[in-house]
Structure 1
């Protein structure tokens, strides 16, 4: 880790020193939004640093760290303490950054666009992706406006309430950093949903510390970085809220970006079924998980209930997503209608109606061969409409799954080749696939074969 010595050397320069992990001295840290002519690590090695506009940040940051109430000999500043010409060093720094903020004695947040308390809520600092970890990780955070005077906005509790109102981050997280683990993946993602980064990949890389994961940096992969982040989160957290997102341009069960979680701030983990399930896993076929599933529409359209629910106005509502049984065999699924989450009322929920299904849902990672401007990319769920007429009406669904419908209806639908009805019956827990008719002792499979219904045989 490199740090800037806060006292000037004999030649009037600020020295950048490197420390091993077991010899890092107490240090401050500077949080800011990048501007023109930032000072790089290479600039600090020569005489060019003082000629750049960004040098003022280094001078002021060092002066603050030396202040009597901080009295620190070193400060970390991202612009000049990382050699960004080295991809390995940049990767190591970004993977370590959350911990560096946690271990700092104090973090100075410099708001270059703020002149008074009235400007505070509108600062660009609250809209940037990288500053989210700089807001949450440090044990002590002090704000300074454009003239480097400290912003005083009342008591610490009042400041936290103000920040919570601006960012949507609960006061509990701001006051107790250890409480971060109490919040679901969807809630944490929602805190980043309105923030932006200059590079697409940084939208994922800036969130690693928030979830305690590390992934290699691959600049140039664009949206795939956010997919990789979610896959790594699934390896360490069994949290179905990671699937509780909405987006018009959804392209699989994993979210395209953090903005998809904008309305997920009140979704928490919850499993009312008390049934053993396998952990989430990732393969080249997709995401493997156990979900309770119910057919609700033509050509394999169904609802899969996630192990999570809403709070507040959505309390007592489980969250379900629309998925499509691609081969009509209850094995390979694709998420569709990604622009909506379906609430399931806990009060009227009957587990018998929702069959526990071991399913594989396509991740549909975006590849470099796909055209990012094509309609297939921007509206994949709508492109399926010609195959997917949509959910059955409540009347149709009641007629096909109501109390008058019994196991023997599977025999009749197999004999007539009524695929949609057959598929709906086979998703139920109370239908026996080996049932035989009274006269000929034929199973549904034999009836389908005898009448030449090839699709029904495959199903």
Structure 2
């Protein structure tokens, strides 16, 4: 710490001496507002004559003379005892400043704009950010007017000071520990104060909350976000979030102390537990465990803080938040931030406001213009359900309420029901179907996401027929729901009682997009149903689903798999004269000489059917002509007229 000697040296200037922490002598300290030409650290080491000519030197001189007259050898003045050209030194000084004012023997508050005690409360000194800690920290504080005449001490003037700052007299007198006041109350003391630099609105409050952060000038409002995040590391006081401002940018953290202007009466209050659960800042927002209650459509709810207004009824402060992550109750953003909800929990059932682990967005650094639609969404009155409607939608006394809402895809009702702590997420219908099965079966993607996000919901639950939510979604070709489900930890090849996997049933029903999604996630491509003895590829071919066939072949399906009659796809295609499918199969590696259960080759099957084009394709692809005879040299009968291709394949009998 550098201190200014109160006696001028032989050079005619006050010298600066640096002390280690264990050797700091008693000192006085100056609190003032910066004017035009303040004397800097560099000025004190420059030419004495030049330094004395600056307007700010008179302030330094008068302060030193006053301190010396009161018996102090040293005084600390921020303008000249800190080398502000060193960012490291400036950062250390600002993080230490509250302590330096606290440990000073006396603090002189020089009010350059106050000619008499009458104008005391109008001084600019009471509006500046830095002077807040300089008012609270010192044990002894003397106010001086523009002529350096004493106006009175902090103890003498505490009533007037409290009136113009709204700081309780107990804080000014030292009778009340500053830690006994909530975060919101302390923030409110700085709400109407200003600083030249935006960042200093945060940096000037470090000592008030007993925290330290690195200084990064140029970060603007980020500094105040960082301050609040650091406060969260040392305090579990929910009143940190008890602010009101239209400028919330979707976040739980305020953008400046001004947001706390109406929070001077917010005190800590926890009627549930002796301690709050700690919370932390993460890359996605503020992670905290808090009581939550759904109150409106589109995921509107209340985050219930453990604080209330001082002197009022035991109504907790609650913040309006909206479920912003597909209504899964995992991530929220604050809305309607210009108001609080004072909540009387006696009007509600405990199951309506359970503790919930959630992430609430911290806040954006840039302002976003609201669209017309978003403005309507954030209109408070239309969003909130009347109490009677809310109780009806909550479905108390209706065990099947969640099943019914999920089946119909009623997103708002499902979400509201899931906010209850006593709702059964795996409630089953008479056929064993769960709410998630109903949602998947009917393609209600958002409802399925809500349900799948719950930890108590069994994503692989099976109904009485052994069918899972994924099976039902695949069967109906609900691609978005299938895609969502396969991202979870599930058995992608789970079979129903008939042996159908999700891939097999999707192939059977011709849902090419669903087939592609399942294959991309590793579904078994060659699995056979025990009842029908066919692979997904065989099922798709049998039902004429060309796009599904193409997808399966592109993913490497076995073209030589056999149907229940022992035939491969190539044999079937040749026997039907299906040239297009024949070409596709051959291009994907089908065995051109494969034999059926009676020994016939694809060429023989085509000749038997008299499919000239098919015979031509097979010959062009290298089919062996001699295989046009069956086992034992049997000669087939020509079902059509002799053709040159038939003759080429088997001239002996055409």
Tell whether 2:277 aligns with 1:278.
yes
Match of residue 447 from structure 1: 438
Higher relative contact order, structure no. (Cα contacts within 8 Å, ≥ 6 residues apart): 1
Task: Give the Cα–Cα distance (whole angstroms) in 1 for the partners of residues 438 and 347 of structure 2.
Answer: 36
Match of residue 425 from structure 1: 417
Contact kept, 8 Å, 2:112 with 2:146, in 1: the verdict is yes
244, 247, 259: which one pairs with 2:245? 247
Q: 1:122 offset after TM fit, Å?
A: 0.6
Most deviating of 40-49 and 130-139: 40-49
Superposition map of 1:155-304 within 5 A: 158-176=156-174, 179-251=177-249, 252-274=251-273, 278-304=277-303
3-state DSSP of counterpart to 1:304:
strand
Contact kept, 8 Å, 1:299 with 1:387, in 2: the verdict is no
Match of residue 384 from structure 2: 391
Tell whether 2:335 aligns with 1:336.
yes
Superposition map of 1:305-320 within 5 A: 305-312=304-311, 314-320=312-318
Match of residue 416 from structure 1: 408
Q: 1:435 offset after TM fit, Å?
A: 1.1
Task: Give the Cα–Cα distance (whole angstroms) in 2 for the partners of residues 200 and 73 of structure 1.
Answer: 36
3-state DSSP of counterpart to 2:89:
helix
3-state DSSP of counterpart to 1:52:
coil
Distance 1:349 1:417, change over 3 A: closer
Task: Give the Cα–Cα distance (whole angstroms) in 1 for the partners of residues 442 and 10 of structure 2.
Answer: 96
Superposition map of 1:1-16 within 5 A: 1-16=1-16
3-state DSSP of counterpart to 1:305:
strand
Task: Give the Cα–Cα distance (whole angstroms) in 2 for the partners of residues 186 and 31 of structure 1.
Answer: 25
Contact kept, 8 Å, 1:173 with 1:180, in 2: the verdict is yes
Task: Give the Cα–Cα distance (whole angstroms) in 2 for the partners of residues 388 and 317 of structure 1.
Answer: 20
**CA distances 1:85-141 after superposition (whole Å, capped 9, x unpaired):** 111111111011000001100000000111111101111000000000000000100
3-state DSSP of counterpart to 2:358:
strand
Match of residue 369 from structure 2: 375
Contact kept, 8 Å, 1:322 with 1:338, in 2: the verdict is yes
Q: 1:347 offset after TM fit, Å?
A: 4.4
Match of residue 354 from structure 2: 355
Q: 1:389 offset after TM fit, Å?
A: 5.9
Contact kept, 8 Å, 1:407 with 1:430, in 2: the verdict is no
Q: 1:393 offset after TM fit, Å?
A: 3.2
Task: Give the Cα–Cα distance (whole angstroms) in 2 for the partners of residues 230 and 78 of structure 1.
Answer: 26
TM-score (norm 2): 0.65
Contact kept, 8 Å, 1:30 with 1:109, in 2: the verdict is yes
Contact kept, 8 Å, 1:44 with 1:80, in 2: the verdict is yes
Contact kept, 8 Å, 2:270 with 2:307, in 1: the verdict is yes
TM-score (norm 1): 0.92
Q: 1:308 offset after TM fit, Å?
A: 1.0
Contact kept, 8 Å, 2:294 with 2:352, in 1: the verdict is no
**CA distances 1:377-407 after superposition (whole Å, capped 9, x unpaired):** 9x9984854999622233432331365x533
Q: 1:30 offset after TM fit, Å?
A: 0.6
Match of residue 74 from structure 2: 74
Tell whether 2:458 aligns with 1:458.
no
Q: 1:442 offset after TM fit, Å?
A: 1.7
Q: 1:453 offset after TM fit, Å?
A: 2.1
Contact kept, 8 Å, 2:425 with 2:435, in 1: the verdict is yes
Contact kept, 8 Å, 1:193 with 1:259, in 2: the verdict is yes
3-state DSSP of counterpart to 1:196:
coil
Task: Give the Cα–Cα distance (whole angstroms) in 2 for the partners of residues 103 and 419 of structure 1.
Answer: 60
Contact kept, 8 Å, 1:337 with 1:381, in 2: the verdict is no
Task: Give the Cα–Cα distance (whole angstroms) in 2 for the partners of residues 6 and 76 of structure 1.
Answer: 10
Distance 1:277 1:29, change over 3 A: closer
Tell whether 2:25 aligns with 1:25.
yes
421, 424, 428: which one pairs with 1:436? 428
Distance 1:171 1:254, change over 3 A: same
Distance 1:275 1:151, change over 3 A: closer
**CA distances 1:302-341 after superposition (whole Å, capped 9, x unpaired):** 01101111113x4312000011111211111111111111
3-state DSSP of counterpart to 1:147:
coil
Task: Give the Cα–Cα distance (whole angstroms) in 2 for the partners of residues 214 and 169 of structure 1.
Answer: 23
Match of residue 394 from structure 2: 401
Distance 1:185 1:276, change over 3 A: closer
Contact kept, 8 Å, 2:352 with 2:421, in 1: the verdict is yes
Tell whether 2:339 aligns with 1:345.
no
Match of residue 147 from structure 2: 147
Query: What are structure 2's unaligned runs of at least 5 residues?
Result: 451-654
Distance 1:213 1:383, change over 3 A: farther
Task: Give the Cα–Cα distance (whole angstroms) in 2 for the partners of residues 426 and 243 of structure 1.
Answer: 25
3-state DSSP of counterpart to 1:15:
strand
Match of residue 66 from structure 2: 64
Q: 1:177 offset after TM fit, Å?
A: 6.8
Contact kept, 8 Å, 2:30 with 2:109, in 1: the verdict is yes
Task: Give the Cα–Cα distance (whole angstroms) in 1 for the partners of residues 233 and 165 of structure 2.
Answer: 28
Distance 1:122 1:187, change over 3 A: same
**CA distances 1:74-94 after superposition (whole Å, capped 9, x unpaired):** 000011101111111111110
